[in-house]
Structure 1
Amino acid sequence: MNITKTKALLPDFKNNLISIVMPCWKAEKFISESINSVINQTYGNWELLIVDDCSPDNTAKIVENYCKLDSRIKIFRQSQNGGPARARNRALDAAKGRWVAFLDCDDIWDKAKLERQLSFHKDVRTVLTFTSFRRFGNSKRVGREIPVPKFLDYSALLGNTAIATSTVLIDRSLSGHFCMKPIYYDDFGCWLDLLRYGQRAAGLNECLMEYRVITGSVSRNKLTSAIEVWKTMRITERLSLIASIRHFSMYALRGIFKYSRF
């Protein structure tokens, strides 16, 4: 994705509005906590775009009730289950803000997340910012804060697990049009696209997100994760075998260190 060539394709957007992208599927247990963490933000100029990916439970009904209470919350219902990338792209197509944030339907934001990160983002003037975070389990066990590097470029991101999706904020005046790729790690692929042509991502070392650890979730199967990261490097990014081995080794080592203790 050539960022300089895609700016002209972007429709007019509201300069201070943050469009929040939330895909959901079978999320009735946790989605209220996630939505409430948005409603409670100290920064109020946002829209929450929730895409229900054909949930078989009461997820859509819960979201519809929130829509009635707050006009900033909108629901989009997929006609068939297509996975997180398609759901996120549906929300991105509807987004009206200059700024785009992501929040998964089981994660939780600190109440100052948008205010603090937007201020930071305007100072560093990068295409993407991300923050530190901590994990928590269903038993409400809260883990340590996971710090993040100050900056990442394309090469550094290939060997790093630092960017958690629910911490990301993107400035569309710098990114131009962007979307998620139809791959297993659609978010990782998107961040790589955004940094491919010399852009950088800036890390804010403030713990502004709590990442829920759920047994059996997409990101918890370590063998599958490793295979899909390797495929991203070799197939999607078309790296050489030597480059793939180098970046994958760093990615794996950082992942082991990151998750070696809760």
Structure 2
Amino acid sequence: MNEHLVSIITPVYNAEKFLSDTIESIKNQSYKNWELLLVDDCSKDNSANIIKEFQKNDDRIKYIKLEKNSGASVSRNTGIKSAKGRFIAFVDSDDLWEPNKLEVQVNYMLKENRGFTFTSYRYMKEDGVRTNKIAKAPYKINYEGLLKNTIIGCSTVVVDREIVGDFDMPLVRRGQDTATWLKLLRKEKYAYGIEQDLVNYRLVGDSLSSNKIKALKRTWNTYRNVENLGMLKSSYVFCFYVFNAIKKRM
């Protein structure tokens, strides 16, 4: 089968606890034509050695080391610049993909001519135990819809550069993923969802995304300083965002 290359971008910072499991979930993909670009943001733990061990047996795994700690947006942009694939995918260093994730998603994108897609995802406890809680992807979402929602999980996204064109992430320390999806939706009318839960999202106690107050501040900052929305519009969509965030977690 003639499979298009998928470039998978993973920022890595002190990720030794879960990194091996994440890499294994990529290696177990039924879709085989991929490269995994692991961008080390100056980790102080054993992350680099873990990656290099995997590299010995799989030349699809690439190790990139940043010169200084720069944050996830710089890490992801570095990966995107180095990517050779038609498709760009993202996976965080503590999340897991189901074995058929890429196969289902890429085949759907090719069949339906979709440039920007995401999937449902299942919440997973820190110890790897999967819960019954699923964040369900809608059929499609536009720019205005995403301002009011949190439904696009970074580790679920795949972008077709032949349709969308080249892109990068805004250089903000937090919330760069949502800012990127909003940026793409200024060009693409919709991001299309796949209902299957093909990603397991790990709830880690000390992760940025698990801190509710930081998440609220991050979203407000995206509205005001990245999207440059006025106070009234920001307040309006923020109310919807909070409601949908609570609804998603229930």
Q: TM-score range by the shorter chain?
A: over 0.9
Correspondence for 2:237:
247
Change (3 A) 1:117 1:198: closer
SS at match of 2:22: helix
TM-superposed deviation, 1:60: 0.3
CA contact (8 A) 2:128 2:202 kept: no
Correspondence for 1:116:
104
Pair 1:150-2:139 in alignment: yes
TM-superposed deviation, 1:98: 0.6
Which of the residues 122, 126, 134 maps onto 1:138?
126
How does the TM-score come out when normalised to structure 2? 0.96
Pair 1:217-2:196 in alignment: no
Mapping for residues 1-262 of structure 1, pairs under 5 Å: 16-143=4-131, 144-183=133-172, 184-260=174-250
- Work out the CA distance in 1 between the residues paired with 2:126 and 2:214: 23
TM-superposed deviation, 1:198: 4.6
TM-superposed deviation, 1:29: 1.0
Root mean square deviation, CA, Å: 1.3
TM-superposed deviation, 1:235: 1.6
SS at match of 1:97: coil
Q: Which runs of 4+ in 1 moved over 3 A?
A: none
1:237 partner amino acid = E
1:165 partner amino acid = C
TM-superposed deviation, 1:126: 2.7
How does the TM-score come out when normalised to structure 1? 0.91
CA deviations 1:218-248 (Å, max 9, x no partner) are: 1111112111211111121111222111111
TM-superposed deviation, 1:15: 7.8
CA deviations 1:121-151 (Å, max 9, x no partner) are: 1233232100001111123332222211110
Give the length in aligned residue pairs: 247
CA contact (8 A) 2:126 2:205 kept: no
